[in-house]
Homo-oligomer: A and B are copies of this chain.
């Protein structure tokens, strides 16, 4: 219980039934107003839910617009016909902040506006229960990620996003003017998480924004997104990383299912994870696509259509589909990717696809200094440009690897959204810098 500006004790809407027969005060947004003769039924929404208030006579006459912020005081009484089985017979409605007419209605089943309009008026749109639910779920996902890793003795790290150079040779970087020097926004904390492993933390994770200056303007891309990064040392192979991600995602979905029961019910989403996500080498995945769908793929990779079809292939009816794709060729993976033990043209790496879209890239890394220098040279890059990173490999570096999950992609795939922008509170894309 909280107190509001008139010193009455504020009761959350969802707790009003516990006060039946007693005076209560609720504060929140006017969800809807319905007049019936001398009566007005005003639904008030707060962070916990909605409660119906019944106003009579003069009180019902001059009501503020929907979405105004109000404080209503009255008597709670059980009413089987009211939503939630309770209503407040109001003796006072005080308008705290009057709302102007809305750009679109948000008390209907869905918002009748294009995604661009929804994003232009993001704050209003996020009051719609379905859109609202997305970011409650996202918050729970991030929390469950952290908890799952803390239980496994991982340390949370915070690494800089302003960097002197890129991790992969300089493309797709946003330039920053750093006191007159050229700097960039980090595409990933890749180097830093490896460095923190080498600093003796062994197991680290980071939850932070990353930046990709990709010109793509698709339903799958954001130019700024939240990366859930993991790095772990003393591994034998990338299989341990996939084991970890399988277990971690399992515990995350379980926790979110418990924490966000009503949000998931509202969206009609079942957060089940297969108990054993299949692991398919890319070459085999390409053969499956060719054989099953007559679909050809780019060399050593899948295109978006291929990702979609492969998920379709492994899907169990009505459940989210997950599949690890492994053994990508070296020439499409970064210089730090460890070659596969049985074939040095392939890597000990993987992607995780979820409901038709890549949500994770991971793999074992090269931990030997000479091998890493040779790999950098093999890409036509200059090891001198990677001094700070390479240094750690000269002073004792254990075998290690990791992965990164795109938080918005994970959220949108789990919730069945067609555009990743729906899972970003304030998305940044090729055209959009506001709000």
User: Which A residues have a C-beta under 8 Å from some C-beta of B?
Assistant: 2-5, 7, 10, 27, 29-30, 45-47, 67-69, 96-100, 102, 121-124, 126-127, 132, 135-136, 138-139, 142-143, 146, 150, 153, 155-164, 174-179, 181, 183, 185, 192, 195-196, 198-203, 207-209, 211, 213, 215, 223-224, 226, 234, 236, 367-369, 387-389, 391-399, 407, 424-428, 430, 433-435
Contact = CB atoms under 8 A, between A and B. Distances in A.
B196 A425 contact: yes
B126 A96 contact: no
Contacts of A158: 138, 142, 209, 226, 407, 424-425
A174 B156 contact: no
B27 A164 contact: no
Contacts of A153: 47
Contacts of A389: 435
B157 A236 contact: no
Judged by DSSP, the binding face of A is mixed
B200 A132 contact: yes
A30 B211 CA distance: 37
Given A98-B396, A395-B102, A174 B162 contact: yes
Contacts of A199: 122-124, 126-127, 132
A75 B195 CA distance: 32
Contact of A123 (B150, B202, B395, B425): B395
A387 to B, nearest CB: 8
B139 A157 contact: yes
A156 B139 contact: yes
A210 B138 CA distance: 21
B201 A5 contact: no
Contacts of A428: 160, 162
Contacts of A395: 67, 99-100, 102, 123-124
A234 B71 CA distance: 10
Contact of A27 (B4, B157, B234): B234
Contact of A97 (B136, B398, B434): B398
Contacts of A121: 391
A388 B192 contact: no
Contacts of A215: 179
A209 to B, nearest CB: 5
A391 to B, nearest CB: 7
27 contacts: A4-B234, A5-B399, A27-B234, A30-B396, A46-B200, A46-B202, A47-B200, A69-B396, A69-B398, A96-B398, A97-B367, A97-B396, A97-B398, A99-B395, A127-B200, A132-B200, A138-B156, A158-B226, A159-B426, A160-B209, A160-B428, A174-B177, A179-B213, A192-B426, A196-B425, A209-B209, A388-B434
A345 to B, nearest CB: 22
B100 A394 contact: yes
Nearest to A392: B123
A200 B45 contact: yes
A402 to B, nearest CB: 15
Contacts of A69: 396-398
Contacts of A96: 398-399
A256 to B, nearest CB: 13
A38 to B, nearest CB: 26
A396 B160 contact: no
Contacts of A185: 162, 176
A123, A192, A234, A388, most chain B CB atoms within 10 A? A123
A200 B388 contact: no
A136 to B, nearest CB: 6
A368 B175 contact: no
Nearest to A433: B164
A359 to B, nearest CB: 16
For the complex of A and B, the 5 pairs showing the least CB-CB separation, nearest first, are A388-B435, A126-B199, A99-B396, A47-B202, A139-B156
Contacts of A10: 234
A27 B399 CA distance: 11
Contact of A159 (B163, B164, B175, B425): B425
